[in-house]
Structure 1
Amino acid sequence: MSLLKQEIENHLYTHILPFWIKLKDTEQGGFFGKVNFDLTVDKKAEKGGIAASRFLWSFSAAYRITKKAEYLECAHHAYNFLVKKVYDHEHEGLFWQVDYTGKPIEDQKHIYTQSFGIYALSEYYRVTLKEEALEYAQKIFRLIEMYGFDGVNNAYKEEFDRQWKEVPNDKLSENGVIADITTNTHLHVLEAYTNLYKATKSDEVKERLTNLIELFYKKIYNDKTRYLDVFFDREWNPLLNLKSFGHDIEASWLIDDALKVINLSNERYIQMVIDIAYNIADAAILEDGSLANEQHENDIDYTRIWWVQAEAIVGFQNAYERTNDKRFLRLVEGLWTYIKNHIVDHREGGEWFWSVEADGRPTERAIAESWKTPYHNSRFCLEMIERMGKK
């Protein structure tokens, strides 16, 4: 494991983070919104609210683990853009999308976006103890609970207009359905509240986090198939027979992280975490060591998505820590070998490809854009550095 740790540390410090640092927009704030597949930078591309939050989280967390000053400086830079440009000081909450100067161009308020705001602001507070950052995180928490939580159906809603009137969930629905409830939003609310609890130790946050874990167990996790359902109507009826392998293995370790943070030792929940990991290991690991993307009905998508591989490593490492089953260590090593050989963009100035097609070709999609930021792969590195022990 020491060689693996050394390789991952080196990759984070010399390949991933330097790529994103170079995208710092010193004129307009934040980070440039797009790097095309040919590695040209589009300095006038839009900047997403989710992306802005993910930049803030990534550099804050990198500083927390490494104490390298350049990462803290980038975190300060990301924070200033988020609170000055992406936060709506008239109607509160984070915009979906702003232009390259920071003017809102898609002013919807999505609970998914707000979650990442909490996640990032909590992390920034943890490394700076800047009270303003925590106040913003708590303000967004109250917005989610006020507007985003449906107490009747015990579910978090999805999409709102700028004035917080609920609208159809166009932003986070796929596969031909418009979902009133998504596992993805619930997962990232859970992730956000976990980090907010780390920052505050608030009893209110703990209560909401406990409720979310129970929601995953009772409503989202299917104990017969050992998969998480993905899209639901307002009454929690699943809309599709869809299995998202990447979200499942990501949920396995994020739910477990929440359990550990609030010190909730519940055998039902722990078994769910373990069963999900075994299920994905059995169903979605391919012969080359990578993880397939998803399955709709009987149709499996064999595209190797960058974030799916990254989250799978953390998920299987966590499963090893829970079970001591060395099968999970072998899966971690296989995934890392696949990432090094196929997902990492070894071109001068490259980072990671968005994905690799079933035939082995890199997908010709932007290397950086609103949905592709340092969050998933820097987090995989930071998690593994922490889990394998600091030097």
Structure 2
Amino acid sequence: MGILKDMLNEFENNLIHKWYPLVIDKQYGGYFTNLAYDLSLMPEQEKMIVTQSRHMWTTSKAAKFLNNDMLYESALHGLNFLKNQMWDERYGGFYQIRNREGKVSDVEGWLEEKRTYGNAFAIYGLSALYELTKNNDALELAIETFNWLEERAYDPLYKGYFQFLTREGKPFGKNDSHKTNATDAVEAGYKDQNSSIHLLEAFTELYGVWRDNKVRERLEELLVLIRDKITHPKGYLQLFFERDWTPVSFRYASPEIRDANYRLDHVSFGHDYETAFLMLEASYKLGLKNDTATLYTAKKMLDHAIENGWDNSSAGFFDEGYYYSEEGECKIIKHTKNWWAQAEALNALLLFSKIFPNEKRYYKLFLQEWDYIKKYLIDHEHGDWYWGSLEKEAHYKTAPKGTIWKATYHNGRALMNCILMLSDEDSELFQSNEKFRELKSEFDDFIGHWQKTSVQAVEK
């Protein structure tokens, strides 16, 4: 089986149709969250705004990609739960988590707190749903969420957004009267790359369906912020920042303090090349001409990941590295290889092989990455992907396939994009699906735009 048919079979039969309509909660609405290793539904079924929105986004995109009515209905199914159970009617904004019925949940300790990250994904999913269905409720709720973030989480002084919000939508940190017991409490009070890149992603999706000047302003502002401040000159994302965007680093602290604050300060290769793609997507959607600065930084981020995070012996990207000194090399500190980072690698490597066809290593590594995923991450017996590579963490063979942090968004998007890039006029989907041909044309325009930009960069 050729790589295109291989990927299409994986996307359609081993991922999408394994999850949908299985995770449709017909009793309470929304999508089931927790799936066991064999994709059976688990007893506890809390619902986080991130996961709910990712299901909505994936089914919205896959419905058009596969021209599938079941997926269309699956995407639309999620709207009422977001609107009626996850949206806070009193104070606005989306709760970070609710229980299966849509009431307070104590999972992860968020209770009725809100996070900008979660609200960003709501915008992302709702915008994709509107693009598919033209359902005005979806667009209106996406716009209302954008305006809520603008009023509550946006920092007019230093730009960017605060991540930690009370139920009322008030930003808080470690020294404020509101004390959180959530599992992410160590991050309270900081600005961060992760919410920033997913706001970029969400505003890109929203701007595609709502050409609002304020959305455009914030989208371009985030693009510049991520490209020029959050990304280190070496080509990796710095993770956490003070309000004025001073990076948080424990490089020169004692080993005990550095270890205690590990999650605030390391190199996450998967986020780096995922962001490389998201920046190119944002710049393209904005219609920026000759944006060589964004292309240069995006390429630098992927190249840094390849040079420092690629496993030359087994293939795949390691999860995390660390610079113990500014001048030293990046040391691998987490040798595992989780599913989402390997999925994002497929998309980035193939994309850059198209933009820079003379740099042969991108396509070579893409092929190696896909072989690695098939060998160690895809569950060929039960379906879907393991959380982590069995080469590194064999226990994931019997670990849950679905959680609040794991659904179909990363590998679904990566496979759809790769299939679009690998398809030609003779391919099965191109021949049979007019909607796929539209998507193919749009993605070809995207690649062509950056190919032209790369030539202009060389000429300069």
TM-score (norm 2): 0.80
Q: Does 1:345 align with 2:371?
A: no
Counterpart of 1:164 in structure 2 is 169
Question: Which segments of 5 or more consecutive residues in structure 2 lack a partner in the other structure?
Answer: 106-110, 175-179, 250-264, 325-330, 424-428, 431-460
Task: Report SS of the residue matched to 1:300.
Answer: strand
In structure 1, how many angstroms separate the alpha carbons of the residues matched to 2:332 and 2:102?
A: 41
Counterpart of 1:216 in structure 2 is 226
Q: In the TM superposition, what is the alpha-carbon distance from 1:359 to its structure 2 partner?
A: 3.7
Q: In the TM superposition, what is the alpha-carbon distance from 1:173 to its structure 2 partner?
A: 4.7
In structure 2, how many angstroms separate the alpha carbons of the residues matched to 1:74 and 1:290?
A: 33
Moved more, 69-78 or 22-31: 22-31
Question: CA-to-partner distance for each residue in 1:291-317, whole Å, 9 max, x for gaps?
Answer: 110114445211110000001111112
Computed over aligned residues only, the root mean square deviation of the Cα atoms, in angstroms, reads 2.0
In structure 2, how many angstroms separate the alpha carbons of the residues matched to 1:242 and 1:329?
A: 28
1:324-339 pair list within 5 angstroms: 324=357, 325-339=359-373
Counterpart of 1:266 in structure 2 is 291
Counterpart of 2:2 in structure 1 is 3
Counterpart of 1:17 in structure 2 is 16
Percent identical across equivalent pairs?
Answer: 27
In structure 2, how many angstroms separate the alpha carbons of the residues matched to 1:163 and 1:178?
A: 16
Q: Is the 1:194–1:258 Cα contact (8 Å) retained in structure 2?
A: yes
Question: CA-to-partner distance for each residue in 1:93-128, whole Å, 9 max, x for gaps?
Answer: 111111111113222111000100000000000011
Question: CA-to-partner distance for each residue in 1:57-112, whole Å, 9 max, x for gaps?
Answer: 01001012221111101111122222222122222111111111111322211100
Q: In the TM superposition, what is the alpha-carbon distance from 1:40 to its structure 2 partner?
A: 4.2
Q: In the TM superposition, what is the alpha-carbon distance from 1:357 to its structure 2 partner?
A: 5.8
1:112 pairs, out of 109, 117, 141, with 117
Q: Does 1:229 align with 2:232?
A: no
In structure 1, how many angstroms separate the alpha carbons of the residues matched to 2:38 and 2:204?
A: 38
In structure 2, how many angstroms separate the alpha carbons of the residues matched to 1:83 and 1:114?
A: 12
Task: Report SS of the residue matched to 2:333.
Answer: strand
Task: Report SS of the residue matched to 1:81.
Answer: helix
Q: In the TM superposition, what is the alpha-carbon distance from 1:366 to its structure 2 partner?
A: 2.1
2:305 pairs, out of 268, 280, 290, with 280
Question: Which segments of 5 or more consecutive residues in structure 1 lack a partner in the other structure?
Answer: none
Question: CA-to-partner distance for each residue in 1:269-289, whole Å, 9 max, x for gaps?
Answer: 110011111111111111222
In structure 2, how many angstroms separate the alpha carbons of the residues matched to 1:200 and 1:388?
A: 30
Counterpart of 1:243 in structure 2 is 267
1:293 pairs, out of 319, 323, 332, with 319
Q: Does 1:256 align with 2:280?
A: yes
Q: Does 1:302 align with 2:302?
A: no
Alignment-mate amino acid for residue 166 of structure 1: P
In structure 1, how many angstroms separate the alpha carbons of the residues matched to 2:378 and 2:395?
A: 10
In structure 2, how many angstroms separate the alpha carbons of the residues matched to 1:49 and 1:196?
A: 17
Q: Which structure's residues are more often strand, by fraction? A: 1
Counterpart of 2:195 in structure 1 is 185
Counterpart of 2:405 in structure 1 is 371
Residues 1:255 and 1:104: Cα distance change in structure 2 (over 3 Å): same
Question: CA-to-partner distance for each residue in 1:303-344, whole Å, 9 max, x for gaps?
Answer: 110000001111112222221122111111111111111111
In structure 2, how many angstroms separate the alpha carbons of the residues matched to 1:388 and 1:179?
A: 44
Alignment-mate amino acid for residue 137 of structure 1: A
Alignment-mate amino acid for residue 316 of structure 2: S
Q: Does 1:314 align with 2:372?
A: no
Task: Report SS of the residue matched to 2:267.
Answer: strand
Counterpart of 2:93 in structure 1 is 93
Q: Does 1:154 align with 2:155?
A: no
Q: How many residues align?
A: 387
Task: Report SS of the residue matched to 2:158.
Answer: coil
Residues 1:388 and 1:202: Cα distance change in structure 2 (over 3 Å): farther
Task: Report SS of the residue matched to 2:117.
Answer: helix
Residues 1:387 and 1:79: Cα distance change in structure 2 (over 3 Å): farther
Q: Is the 1:183–1:229 Cα contact (8 Å) retained in structure 2?
A: yes
Q: Is the 1:43–1:100 Cα contact (8 Å) retained in structure 2?
A: no
In structure 2, how many angstroms separate the alpha carbons of the residues matched to 1:360 and 1:143?
A: 41
Q: Does 1:126 align with 2:136?
A: no
Q: Is the 1:95–1:104 Cα contact (8 Å) retained in structure 2?
A: no
